[in-house]
Amino acid sequence: MGADPDLVVVGSGFFGLTVAERAATELDKRVLVVERRSHLGGNAYSEPDPETGIEVHRYGAHLFHTSNKRVWEYVNRFTDFTGYQHRVFTIYQGRVYPLPVNLATICEFAGKAMTPDEARAWVAEHAAEIDVDDAQNFEEKGVALVGRPLYEAFFEGYTAKQWQTDPKNLPASIVSRLPVRYTFDNRYFNDTYEGLPVDGYTAWLERMADHPNIEVLLDTDWFDLRDRLGWAGEGPVVPTVYTGPLDRYFDYCEGELGWRTLDFEPEVVTTTGDFQGTPVMNYADRDVPFTRIHEFRHFHPERTTYPKDRTVIVREYSRFAEHGDEPYYPINTPEDRAKLERYRELARKEAANRRVLFGGRLGTYKYLDMHMAIGSALTLFDNRIAPWFTEGAS
Ligand code: UDP
């Protein structure tokens, strides 16, 4: 470790790196970033597959999209973006349908051509059992939005694999992540800006950390280091932004928060240069054990160096996280939410008494897309971190 830091950032995902970059550039502060893994970038990290050179997102596919102009302008300081637009298809009972549910999906499923008005009427007839405004949970919301037959085909089996939880006990907000459209537009996201970093995620993440005021310690668990940063005792410490798991910070005193984890099974296919013709294929049938297959070459059709005779695919499986597994999706059961409230209260005290702030997906127990993590880091920097230094507040 070099000179004493002015700010410690625990975790080098997008949230942590945004905070570090702002403090280093905007306030000229010395920032120490402590990262447990052997690489930067949290789950956005990617690397070339050693055999084929195809860029693989090691912790699942990351597609950048945002409607937030400030976030878009900020990220463009570190990377250019390709014109990639995300599209997803799903296989159900041996047939392929476009997602998110749109006019093509409905026509294909019903086996006939329909106008937008006819499709609306068709869905309404099959969704008559529930009004969308009354929908209280995932199942009710799903049925209200697309009608029971489409819900059962495209949501029920996939969600059973993704969450292993009765959809009646899942929040309606999960299904609301996906739009439903009565046009043939099958773009997955509705956002104004979208694309993939031209030189890959790792080049982008490294540029964020590339500043003389920023020191990154990889392979270092902050919990092993913190006493050397003056952590003993109760009083204020070096200002710290913690993006690790919230429950771990407090030594699990209120119990563990529930997470889903993902298992990725990569395979280099040597019999063809194109396995599925598209970046992501979902598998809606319950008896297929994985939820989706990613074929990474298709995220970068503009790259000419990828081999033509081989391709990299990754099957994705979902399960409950056990202690020590990588956390991906907060489950958010009522018990989780009760624990979270108690942890939030402790976090508020910690911010007030010790100058420790919590952020990011793990630090707040929220499923944040990349643009949300960056946006909330920019806001936290403006409202809470910069005043620590500019107003001399403690
Ligand atoms: N979902 C589904 N069928 C699909 C895709 C998604 O039932 O083919 C449901 C599933 O419960 C998932 C949620 O919609 O958790 C949100 O989907 P999204 O694609 O946003 O999930 P992510 O890519 O973040 O895992």
Pocket of ligand 1 (CB under 6 A): 90, 99, 154-155, 158-159, 162, 174-175, 177-178, 282, 284
Percent of the chain whose predicted confidence (pLDDT) is above 70 = 98
- Residue 126: phi and psi, rounded to 5, are -90, 0
Nearest to 63, CA basis, from 175, 189, 184:
189
What integer is the mean pLDDT of 159-176?
Answer: 90
Each residue of 290-314: pLDDT tens digit? 999 999 999 999 999 999 999 999 9
Q: What pLDDT was estimated at residue 315?
A: 98
Distance 261 CA to ligand 1 centre (A): 14
Query: Annotated active-site positions, please?
Result: 177, 181, 260, 292, 316, 367, 369
What integer is the mean pLDDT of 118-144?
Answer: 91
Q: Which two tokens stand for residue 149?
A: 């037959």
Q: Residue 279's CB: how many other CB atoms inside 10 A? A: 22
3-state secondary structure of 283: strand
For the chain, the helix, strand and coil percentages under 3-state DSSP, each to the nearest 5: 40, 20, 45
Task: Choose the residue to mutate in 161, 162, 261 for probing ligand 1, maximizing ligand atoms within 8 Å of C-beta.
Answer: 162
Q: Given pLDDT bands bounded at 50, 70 and 90, which one contains residue 228?
A: confident
Q: Which atom of ligand 1 is nearest to the CA of 90?
A: 8
Distance 111 CA to ligand 1 centre (A): 24
Beta strands in 93-144 (DSSP E): 95-99
Nearest to 174, CA basis, from 190, 158, 187:
158
pLDDT at residue 236 is higher than 90: no
3-state secondary structure of 66: strand
| Beta strand pairing call for 88-92 and 95-99 | antiparallel
Residue 72 Cα distances to 20, 24, 159, 380, angstroms:
18, 20, 31, 17
Task: Choose the residue to mutate in 93, 155, 165 for probing ligand 1, maximizing ligand atoms within 8 Å of C-beta.
Answer: 155
What is the DSSP code (8-state) at residue 137? B
Task: Choose the residue to mutate in 95, 175, 316, 369 for probing ligand 1, maximizing ligand atoms within 8 Å of C-beta.
Answer: 175
**Claim: this prediction has a pTM higher than 0.90:** yes
Query: Residue 211's Cα: distance from chain center in Å?
Result: 26
Q: Which atom of ligand 1 is nearest to the CA of 88?
A: 8
Q: Whose CA is nearest to atom 7 of ligand 1?
A: 155
Distance (Å, whole) CA 216 – CA 286: 43
